[in-house]
Amino acid sequence: MELLLSIILGFMIIGAIFALHARDLLSALVAFGIVGYSLVICFLLLKAPDLAIVQIVVETVTLVIMVAVILNSTREEVKDKLRWQSALTIVLALLFIGGLVYFYQVAIAPLDELGMHTTRMAEAYIEGAAEKTGSANLVTGVLFDFRGYDTLGEATILFTAAIGVLTVLRLKGKKAA
């Protein structure tokens, strides 16, 4: 299991690196699709079917929006190569990477091995969930019943983002009074 997930994650990393280095933006998007749809396979392997469905929809919508943006503008990558300006930049970058790796080590230390997780907080959610929420799907039960206010906040964010997109893309501005 861990080996299979590692192989898929390796493909995701390769796809991500190619997506960031492609000369053509359309091929960069196709490579980004590798990352997103591999995540769907990982979710299915990790016994999360709801997440897999949502991720398929979201990934497809994201790719469609990105392709629409690119077809309305340009496919060409900007010309200039990256310049390493000074030794200071490299030293700062290395220090930053070192700091991130250190905090990653600190964060990873108390975690269980993969597959050895013990449910602590979710125990109350699983216990008699069908009677409490009326939902056979525990994820739906947590999302819409135990943590319904989280979902309300999510809906607020979605609404705000839709308003923001409409405002930014509005062609005609209001006439000054």
Judged by beta carbon, residue 110 or residue 177, the one nearer other proteins is 110
Q: Which of residues 36-55 bind other proteins (CB under 8 A)?
A: 36, 39, 42-43, 46-51, 54-55
Kindly tell me which residue out of 88, 121, 176, 177 binds other proteins, with binding defined by CB under 8 A: 121
Judged by beta carbon, residue 168 or residue 176, the one nearer other proteins is 168
**59, two tokens:** 């990934």
What is the phi/psi pair of residue 92, to 5°? -65, -45
Kindly tell me which residue out of 88, 106, 168, 176 binds other proteins, with binding defined by CB under 8 A: 168
Min dist CB 99 to other proteins, Å, is 12
| Dihedral sign computed on CA atoms, order 61, 64, 69, 70 | positive
Min dist CB 83 to other proteins, Å, is 11
Is residue 8 within 8 Å of residue 27, measured between CB atoms?
no
Write the single-letter amino acid at 61: V
Q: Which of residues 125-144 bind other proteins (CB under 8 A)?
A: 125-126, 129-130, 136-139, 141-143
Q: Which of residues 55-74 bind other proteins (CB under 8 A)?
A: 55, 58, 61-62, 65-66, 69-70, 72-74
In degrees, rounded to 5, the angle at the alpha carbon of residue 84 between the alpha carbons of residues 80 and 85 is 100
Is residue 15 within 8 Å of residue 31, measured between CB atoms?
yes
Q: Does 82 bind other proteins (CB under 8 A)?
A: yes
Instruction: Provide the 3-class DSSP secondary structure of residue 10.
Output: helix
DSSP letters of 20-43?
A: HH-SBHHHHHHHHHHHHHHHHHHH
Min dist CB 25 to other proteins, Å, is 6
